[in-house]
Chains A and B, each alone.
Chain A
Amino acid sequence: MLEVRGLVVSYGGLRAVDGVSLEVRPGEIVSIIGMNGAGKTSILNAISGIVSPDTGEIRFEGASIGGLPPHAVVARGIVQVPEGRLIFGTLSVEENLSAAAHQHGGFVLRRRARPNLRGLFPALADKLDRPAASLSGGEAQMLALARGIEAEPRLLLLDEPSLGLSPKLSADVFALISRLRDQGLTVLLVEQNVRRTLALADRAYVLESGRITLQGPAAELMSDERLVSNYLGISSPASFVPA
């Protein structure tokens, strides 16, 4: 479904992503795990067209999408939910949701949030006419996720969806991603919460300083000694700086 070959992304001479190749197949949850600054977000941003790669090939459903502007990538069916609960604060919750669904609605009319969505996000269902700025951090993250799903993507890119959430909310987010897979959605997930991510994902890539150092089925990686010593042995570091 998605193929990335030899991706290189650099910022002013500094290589953030250094020759990464990865693949996502339909119906999978594939995860990229790694420390802060390993280049995880840069990979997602290159796929969604926010940064243009130096070299490398990005193909989605057979067609090259490298170098397309972000809106054109969304039109192909790839939607990114960026890190940091980014929502439109001056808009209502409903407007946030319908804004994403624009490709499936008209130029003028607003589309109502799908009933399915109310089931997935009960916390948002009765706050549809509130300004998004009034939501709590957890609700804002749910709204960002809901907005991504409302766009009806074929591939959803999730950047640190559990970042900064309480353990309870964090568990909710992972449970939600699992439910979305059951509904047939394909997900590329970037996370720092390695234990939970590996428990959820089908396959995973471990990224270190812009290179993939380990890859394989998530269950196998979970018991890999190198991964255990590097990531699971130490308590996961708190991160505040967007990569």
Chain B
Amino acid sequence: MDDYVVTVLSNIGMISFIALSAYLLLITGEISFGQQAYFGLSAYAAGAATSMFGLPIWAAVLIGACTAGLMAMAVGALTLRLSGLYFSISTLAFAEMMRLILLIVEVQVEVDGEMVGPDGANGFHDIRWMFERDISLTEFMLFIYGLLALVLIALLLVERSRLGSVFRMLGSDDLLTEMQGLNTVRYRILAAGMAGAIAGIGGALYAHFTTYVEPQFFNVMLGVHALAYGLIGGLGTAFGPLVGVAIDIGFLEAVRFIQGYRMIVFGGLVAVLLIFMPRGILDEERVHRLKALFSRGNHARAERH
């Protein structure tokens, strides 16, 4: 595979994390415009872990995910009592605040005679873990997809568990969920923390893939795309947002004649889908029908044996 293909595939993988993050909140009925904050926060935290403190990559990913997850829970505790639109606006405000704070954070330490660390508006350079260890782009891509597979399996298990039902109940009717004896605020904070941590894994990988991050990368457009992926791909299964990412980065990036018009095509696609498939391509109904089809297939096979 040439470097271009590997880079596109890696981007699909890394952006998938933030798409899954926004998706998890969407199924609980929350629209967050701020998941890029956790992606960015973790990119900084994980970048610092390897470049400034010489920690291994797995520790960096863990630190990034935990930092993002805990921050998301703290923000959630403050904002999740707000309803609907007010919550959405507060997530946007928090993410912008985060970005502006990263613009002024200057914490540098000397590593091997060079100053390394976040340098305010100049960004965070020299997150050179991949070069120092001579990791190839392809190897790192496999690492990305390995982690993505783990997160996806975890999410699919959650969806099959009672916790998954609770998340969808929250998205369906908040008061009715409370009336089942469930502490809805606590479950929402849990969902926010999980979503923050998932975005954080993506951010940690991103910092090490690009070796350089700056606050501007984590602006609101990233968060809006993350939302759009779930809405395009579908809210019926965790595969939905991945379909959304694949359509945007995979298809639109790859088809050359769309170049330059990508945002127009993407925006049009979102608008058309929201009219004709308001809960995306793989919505709950289609997912249910696919499952029924699949299990019928299994029954038929079992009967033939």
Contacts and interface: CB of A to CB of B under 8 A. Distances in A.
Main secondary structure of the interface of B (DSSP, over half): helix
A145 to B, nearest CB: 14
A71 B178 contact: yes
Interface string A90-124: 11100100111011011111110000000000000
B166 interface: yes
B181 A71 contact: yes
Nearest to B178: A70
7 contacts: A70-B181, A71-B179, A75-B181, A80-B179, A86-B173, A95-B165, A151-B181
Contacts of A95: 165, 168
A231 interface: no
B176 A88 contact: yes
Contacts of B168: 88, 90-91, 95
Interface string B182-209: 1110000000000000000000000000
A105 B162 CA distance: 9
Interface of A: 48, 50, 69-71, 74-75, 79-80, 82, 86, 88-92, 95, 98-100, 102-103, 105-111, 131, 147, 151
Interface string B149-170: 0000000000001110110110
A80 B182 CA distance: 13
Contact of B163 (A79, A89, A108): A108
Contacts of B171: 90
B298 interface: no
A90 B172 contact: yes
Contact of B182 (A71, A79, A106, A110): A71
A74 B180 contact: yes
A151 B162 CA distance: 14
Nearest to B171: A90
A218 B173 CA distance: 36
A74 B179 contact: yes
B176 A86 contact: yes
A95 B177 CA distance: 13
Given A82-B179, A131-B285, A98 B162 contact: yes
B169 A99 contact: yes
B282 to A, nearest CB: 13
B179 A102 contact: no
A102 B173 contact: no
A89 B172 contact: yes
B284 interface: yes
A102 B166 contact: yes
A146 B161 CA distance: 20
A99 B179 contact: no
Given A70-B179, A99-B180, A110 B162 contact: yes
Contact of A74 (B165, B181, B288): B181
Contacts of B173: 86, 88
B183 A50 contact: no
Nearest to B182: A71
B88 to A, nearest CB: 21
Contacts of B184: 71
Contacts of A108: 161-163
B221 interface: no
Interface string B254-292: 000000000000000000000000000000110010000
A26 B178 CA distance: 25
